[in-house]
Structure 1
Amino acid sequence: MNHYSIYWIKEEFAHHFFHSSDVLYRFIKEYQKNKNREDLKRQYEYITMNFPKSSLISHITDNHPISSCLRAEGDRLNIYNDIQYISLHIQKKKINFRSEMIHDAEELLFPALRLFQPYLFIVGNDLNNYGWISPVTQRKKNKKGQVLYSYL
């Protein structure tokens, strides 16, 4: 089984790092290797959000696919169907999960997480896989008085 971690990145940093996610990936990997470095720890704490365990578990429970089963045990969740299985462990600053393939998470877990929060960054701990769970959209600023007309 492959091991992945999900981080909730603050909105301003998600917008900043969306197109340079490799920088965010390298930072997270460096932090994982050097958790005793105070500078990395402070940066990690600053750019990531805490996961509210009880509301997240409740949200996933209410929004998991109908064709799957869910078993909750404390801060752990198991989501499965006939051929797919995901084991989740929710921690303060990250969600760890194991699945045979990332495709299993795409079907069983990610739809519920996308409804919960769009600024989630996924890192493969065994593989060099990483990316955003959803596209980070830039909010359009209110542009009063600017209208584009066409006379065709």
Structure 2
Amino acid sequence: MRHYYIYLLKPEIASNYFGKEWLIYQLFVEGETAKKDLRTIAQKQINYISGTIPTLQIKKNLDKALRIRNDFYVLKEHYYIDIKALESKAVLKDHGNMLTISASGSYQAETVFFEVLRQINPAFFAMDFENRNYGWLNPVKQVNYI
């Protein structure tokens, strides 16, 4: 089972930390594992760099992109994809300040959710703490000034 925690970072954070994703990941790790005082500071920093999750826009985009699929359904405000042929399942949950995706089987089902989210905003940052994977859903392109 894979568990992804997805935050929408503010645009200036996304552009300034492109290529330094490990620093963002480390902040979130400290927010989960540090001792009480440091955890409080890390949580304040996480709140500062995080943007508001566009819940309504996500709902509309999921409905628009996935309503024709017979393996997509919504139950109690949670979004499910169950691709039986590929033995791939995923559920997307909105927690207000972050999204979570829990997936099992092949990567196909979670990729469908990632694709919809990356089209909404390029500054979504996903982390799988258990497997130590992290990164942008849609890499922010840097502009080089000469």
Report the TM-score when normalising by structure 2.
Answer: 0.83
Match of 1:26 in 2: 26
User: How many residues are treated as equivalent by the alignment?
Assistant: 141
1:116, CA displacement in angstroms? Answer: 0.9
Q: Which letter maps to 2:52?
A: N
Greater Cα radius of gyration, structure 1 or 2: 1
Closer, same or farther: CA 78–35 of 1 in aligned 2, 3 Å: farther
Closer, same or farther: CA 98–49 of 1 in aligned 2, 3 Å: same
| Amino-acid identity (%) | 23
Matching residue within 107, 124, 130 for 1:120 = 124
| Secondary structure, counterpart of 2:43 in structure 1 | helix
Matching residue within 62, 71, 74 for 2:73 = 71
Contact in 2 for aligned 1:6/1:94 (Cα 8 Å): yes
Match of 2:114 in 1: 110
Structure 1 residue ranges (4+ consecutive) displaced by more than 6 angstroms after TM superposition: none
Report the TM-score when normalising by structure 1.
Answer: 0.80
Structure 1 regions of 5+ residues with no counterpart?
144-152
Match of 2:42 in 1: 40
| Secondary structure, counterpart of 1:26 in structure 2 | helix
1:60-99 matches, cutoff 5 A: 60-64=62-66, 66-67=68-69, 69-82=71-84, 83=86, 84-99=88-103
Contact in 1 for aligned 2:89/2:104 (Cα 8 Å): yes
